[in-house]
């Protein structure tokens, strides 16, 4: 099949037609840059930390952030911040990819090890936390990661954290929150995470918000990013994996399902955020244990630490 814009061979079929390699790359980059502009994800004064793991999403976000800054003659400070949760035969591989990627592009990298903060790797901590709470590895991992990214991005002077969340990730998070009737958590989603500003909280922003996972994968492949595409051994172990299968199934049968979820969610997101801002749950406090931002008296990371002490 030929590209609908030129005689070159198509590499992908999109809703508006076939695209060849070059037209797809421009289409994808345009979409990301428009998202950055439309939602003001980056401003001239920002110090930007990219939450990077070495996977396709974060490397694409990192690469396109640097490209956006260069094309717009912006001199923002940019660095990559990675969390090593301690996942055997997985994280060391992706972090090696990240180091190589950043070395070639002059991007400084900071790696923070969960073990140094929480005293245990995720592999060690998860069975104990699960015994006490039935939480899945991704629940523990997500809490640790958000906590460490915010704390260390702030220490490094970041005013924005860029994440590699793509359209599939967001659609899954929306549906998970609907299914669990968690509209309070849903209010924290969107191209800019969170509902209110706080001096201890570094806003997290998502330039790949409108990019489906398959487009990000293709972009990373066509750009020749050295990625080993390893999957986390815990990836199939949670609620999210089932929602992912469900949405993929629907998308295969009814094209545009995931985009429809995002569009309808964005319609009501301002209302959700407004309601959350007015509620007590939405107020950011300082954790009584560690001083980091928390929704409640104790942050979720410290709550997990307490379980670890009991279950040790
Ligand atoms: Fe963490 Fe789950 Fe992602 Fe693995 S799949 S890195 S455990 S959030």
Q: What is the pLDDT of residue 135?
A: 86
Q: What DSSP state is assigned to residue 198? A: B
Q: What is the pLDDT of residue 100?
A: 94
Query: What tokens were used for 204?
Result: 């997290």
Please give the number of the atom of ligand 1 that sits closest to the Cα of 53.
6
Pick the residue whose CA is nearest to atom 5 on ligand 1.
235
Q: Which of 208, 164, 219, 218 is nearest to 52 (CA)?
A: 164
Q: Which of 110, 117, 87 is nearest to 304 (CA)?
A: 117
Contact 78, 42 (CB under 8 A): no
**H helix or E strand, kind and range, residue 209:** none
For ligand 1, the distance from its centroid to the CA atom of residue 114, given in whole angstroms, is: 13
Q: What is the pLDDT of residue 16?
A: 87
Q: What is the pLDDT of residue 311?
A: 66
| Pocket of ligand 1 from Cβ distances under 6 Å | 137-138, 141-142, 232, 234-235
Please give the number of the atom of ligand 1 that sits closest to the Cα of 122.
7
Contact 284, 198 (CB under 8 A): yes
pLDDT in tens, 26-65: 999 999 999 999 999 999 999 999 999 999 999 999 999 9
Say if residue 184 is exposed, middle or buried (CB neighbours under 10 Å; 0-12, 13-18, 19+): middle
Residues of the chain with pLDDT under 50: none
Q: What is the pLDDT of residue 224?
A: 95
Q: What is the pLDDT of residue 282?
A: 62
Pick the residue whose CA is nearest to atom 8 on ligand 1.
138
| Sequence-separated (6 or more) residues with CB below 8 Å from residue 277 | 195, 196
Report pTM. 0.94
Q: Which of 191, 177, 172 is nearest to 40 (CA)?
A: 191
Q: What is the pLDDT of residue 230?
A: 84
């Amino acid at each position: 099949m030929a590209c609908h814009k030129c005689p070159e061979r198509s590499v992908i079929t999109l809703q508006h037609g076939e695209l060849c390699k070059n037209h797809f790359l421009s289409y994808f980059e345009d979409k990301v840059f428009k998202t950055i502009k439309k939602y003001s994800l980056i401003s001239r004064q920002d110090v930007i930390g990219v939450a990077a793991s070495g996977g396709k999403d974060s490397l694409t976000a990192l690469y396109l952030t640097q490209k956006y800054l260069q094309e717009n003659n912006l001199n923002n400070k940019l660095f990559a911040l990675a969390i090593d949760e301690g996942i055997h035969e997985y994280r060391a591989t992706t972090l090696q990819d990240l180091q190589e990627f950043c070395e070639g592009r002059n991007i400084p990298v900071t790696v923070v090890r969960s073990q140094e903060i929480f005293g245990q790797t995720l592999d060690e901590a998860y069975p104990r936390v699960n015994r006490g709470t039935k939480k899945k590895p991704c629940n523990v991992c997500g809490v640790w990661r958000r906590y460490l990214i915010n704390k260390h991005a702030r220490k490094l002077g970041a005013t924005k954290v860029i994440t590699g969340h793509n359209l599939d990730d967001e659609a899954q998070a929306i549906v998970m929150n609907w299914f669990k009737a968690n509209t309070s958590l849903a209010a924290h989603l969107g191209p800019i995470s969170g509902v209110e500003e706080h001096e201890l909280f570094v806003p997290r922003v998502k330039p790949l918000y409108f990019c489906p996972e398959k487009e990000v994968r293709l972009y990373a492949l066509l750009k020749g990013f050295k990625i080993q595409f390893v999957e986390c051994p815990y990836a199939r172990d949670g609620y999210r994996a089932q929602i992912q299968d469900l949405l993929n199934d629907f998308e295969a049968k009814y094209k545009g399902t995931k985009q429809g979820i995002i569009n309808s969610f964005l319609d009501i997101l301002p209302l959700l955020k407004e309601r959350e801002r007015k509620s007590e749950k939405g107020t950011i406090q300082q954790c009584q244990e560690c001083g980091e931002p928390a929704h409640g008296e104790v942050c979720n990371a410290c709550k997990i630490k307490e379980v670890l002490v009991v279950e040790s």
